[in-house]
Amino acid sequence: MGGVTAPVLLLLGRGKDSNSERGVDCPGDLPAPSDPGLVERAAAAKAALGDRVFVLGHHYQRDEVIQFADVTGDSFKLAREAAARPDAEFIVFCGVHFMAESADILTSETQRVVLPDLAAGCSMADMAVLEQVEQCWDLLSDLGISDSVVPVTYMNSSADIKGFVGRNGGVVCTSSNAKRALDWAYAQGEKVLFLPDQHLGRNTAVLEMGYSLDDCVLYDPHKPNGGLTDQQLRDAKMILWRGHCSVHGRFTLENVQAMREQVPGVNILVHPECRHDVVTAADHVGSTEYIIKKLEAAEPGSAWAVGTELNLVRRLAAAHPDKQVMFLEKTVCYCSTMNRIDLPHLVWALEELVAGRVPNQITVDPDTAHHARVALDQMLALP
């Protein structure tokens, strides 16, 4: 191994990057990806654990992993499914870090949540760091407007950010209920600080709630004053955090235009994490669950170009051979961090549990978990 460089080791899921927020430690020996017995080993380990383990698979996971999931879904559905299985001792979350944190918050103290690869993070969630958000809040306080600002955070955020929102009278939202969450927030205050995805916040405020683009300002945590004047912050109805999804942010207006030229009559179906000009040019916009249901209900023979993660689009295309289901962008666009969870990591995690060891347990400290649960419960109580 002496001739292998550190970056290569990190790509293999071994070693630790001191510049990374969480590192990528993976104790023990990972099975080789070429091991022909991986499927059998995963099935045997899962069978040995029986009802003690509950495996969750996010829609963006690889097929090789999804086949072992007891439930598939989006991040919030999976966290709720975990909470609904109190008899499962182990929750193996095939997703990313913030999702496993949410599962830990919503499950009992006796359950343990495992993330097969600690390097499976979320670039969007990492764009809002607690210290930066607290600095923004201090600025709003200094301007005398924090009392009129309600923080709203997307589910795709860290437990720290959910805890901040809970401590400050806010709410968590999903891409399915963002409008309901914002309706609630504007009933509590005059302004919203929307974390961490600027596109979901902007698209919901402008396209669903009647606000204008001028009502929205973009706060950049890497610039003094967020890159905004005091007056801009005072006048804004929606203070958007400068964050985005690295997958959905790739889709462009040019992709939409090119697809319409290539496939006459095509239906453009995109996720609300896409850019505003992409969403406004699309025919249909909605959450992952909305996209799945839209294609299920589509007419046979219809053509669809879908702007979301590629694993899901390919799975949908295979599930609907009577329809033409295409990826909106010509370049391959997987969620790279979600794809860190592969079959070798899943086998390793399951076999560790069989051996009586709990690998890569995700825990949220009690104070953060309490306040994050407040914000999550407020979401569940939305009218």
Annotated binding site for [4Fe-4S] cluster: 122, 245, 335
Binding-site residue positions: 58, 75, 122, 154-156, 175, 245, 271-273, 288, 335
Spatial contact of 278 and 253, defined as CB atoms under 8 Å apart: yes
> Could you tell me which residues are annotated as the binding site for iminosuccinate?
58, 75, 154-156, 175, 271-273, 288
Task: Compute the distance between CA of residue 111 and CA of residue 259 in angstroms, rounded to an integer.
Answer: 47
Among residues 186, 184, 182, 152, the alpha carbon closest in space to that of 170 is found at: 152
Which runs of consecutive H residues, i.e. helices, occur in 225-364? 230-235, 253-262, 276-281, 288-297, 310-319, 343-354
* Residue pair 285/299 in contact by the 8 Å Cβ criterion: no
- What lies within 8 Å, CB to CB, of 240 at 6+ separation is 194, 198, 201, 202, 216, 217, 218, 219
Q: Do residues 284 and 209 touch, judged by C-beta distance below 8 A?
A: no
Q: How far apart are CA 14 and CA 21, in angstroms?
A: 15
Backbone conformation region of residue 73, classed left if phi is above 0, alpha if psi is from -120 to 50, else beta: left
d(CA 21, CA 126): 9
The whole-angstrom separation of Cα 216 and Cα 280 is 16
